[in-house]
Amino acid sequence: MKNKYPRFIAPTIRLGLLVLALAVPTANAAFCSLRDPISAIQTLFDEDNQFRSVVTDVTHEDREQLKQLLPFTIHQSEVAKHTLYVVYNGETPQGFLQARSEWAKWGLVEIAWGMNLDRSVKGFYFQRCRSPQCNDSVVASISKALKGKNFSELKGLLSEDGNALSATGEAAFPIAPNLALLTLHSALKTLAITDISWQHEIQNITQRD
């Protein structure tokens, strides 16, 4: 009797079951697609600054610790390896840069955050934002409200449950409030997770400075 299914179906299913049995969560994208945020570093810092990558594991414990500081935390899929870029002028540290992803209604938004050595916001840069709303004038307006602020000052722009802007926040972001809220979430997570997950590295750099 002729088999009505193509021959490859059975081995494909067998391999699928095998890899499922061996499953440990990991990232989908191949590592050859990883790109350093060169444009962001050139824009947010001096063009001639160089940088050093520090890769670390952002752990479940880090994710839980972040929950103590904010009414939300990073996504489960972000428990993985991440890179903090330490920016230098010669041998002197100038600040940090980290790219983080945030979910919008239309998909992933990737924002590169430039941080001063005291982990206040130096600036941000949309590395990926598929909405036409992410234009230069909106970026300038949001940036004006965030620049120079530290974690607790940024938190003051957010409502207590974290789902909306506070009265101060509404006043600070006169245009594109939804995009501003998304950007604010990203800023708070970035500053907090930088201090939590790269604590040792940051201590070494700031003590040396």
Partner 1 sequence: MRFTLALNYFILAIGAYLISFFVQAASQTSGSWIDSSRWTIDASARGSRNTDTEKNAQTYALGLDFHKVFSDDSHDIGTLTFQPYLVKISNVARPPFTFDDGDDTELTWRIANFNYTALAQGKFNIRLGHFEIPYGLEYAEDTNGTLRQLTASDRGIKADWGISLNGILPYLEYEVALTRGSGNEIKSTDNPHVFSGRIGSPSHRNLITGISWFKGDVLTRNGVVERERYGFDVSYFYYQWQFMLESSLGETQGNDTSHSFAEIAWMSPQEHWKSYLQLVYQDIDVEQRNDFASYWIFGLRWQNDDGFDLSAQFKHDLNSASTIETAPDLSLQVRYRL
Secondary element (H or E) of residue 6:
none
Minimum distance from residue 69 beta carbon to partner 1 (Å): 23
Taking a C-beta distance cutoff of 8 angstroms, is the pair 147, 122 a contact? yes
Question: Do the bridges between strand 81-89 and strand 50-57 make them parallel or antiparallel, or are there none, so unpaired?
Answer: antiparallel
> φ, ψ for residue 98 (rounded to 5)?
-140, 135
| Assigned token pair, 44 | 């947010």
Nearest Cα neighbor of 146 from 168, 127, 128 is: 168
Nearer to partner 1, 105 or 207 (CB): 105
Nearer to partner 1, 32 or 167 (CB): 32
What gap in Å lies between CA 170 and CA 147, rounded to an integer? 16
Nearer to partner 1, 22 or 167 (CB): 22
Number of helical (H) and strand (E) elements in the chain, helices listed first? 8, 5
| Assigned token pair, 172 | 């600070």
Nearer to partner 1, 49 or 98 (CB): 49
**Helix (H/G/I), strand (E/B), else coil: 130:** coil
Minimum distance from residue 208 beta carbon to partner 1 (Å): 10
Minimum distance from residue 190 beta carbon to partner 1 (Å): 17
Nearer to partner 1, 33 or 152 (CB): 33
Minimum distance from residue 14 beta carbon to partner 1 (Å): 8
What gap in Å lies between CA 92 and CA 90, rounded to an integer? 6
Minimum distance from residue 150 beta carbon to partner 1 (Å): 25
Minimum distance from residue 19 beta carbon to partner 1 (Å): 4
Nearer to partner 1, 8 or 167 (CB): 8
One-letter amino acid for residue 185 of the chain: H
Residues within the interface to partner 1 (CB under 8 A) = 6-9, 11-13, 15-16, 19-20, 22-36, 38-39, 41-43, 47-55, 75-77, 81, 83, 88, 90-91, 103-108, 126-132
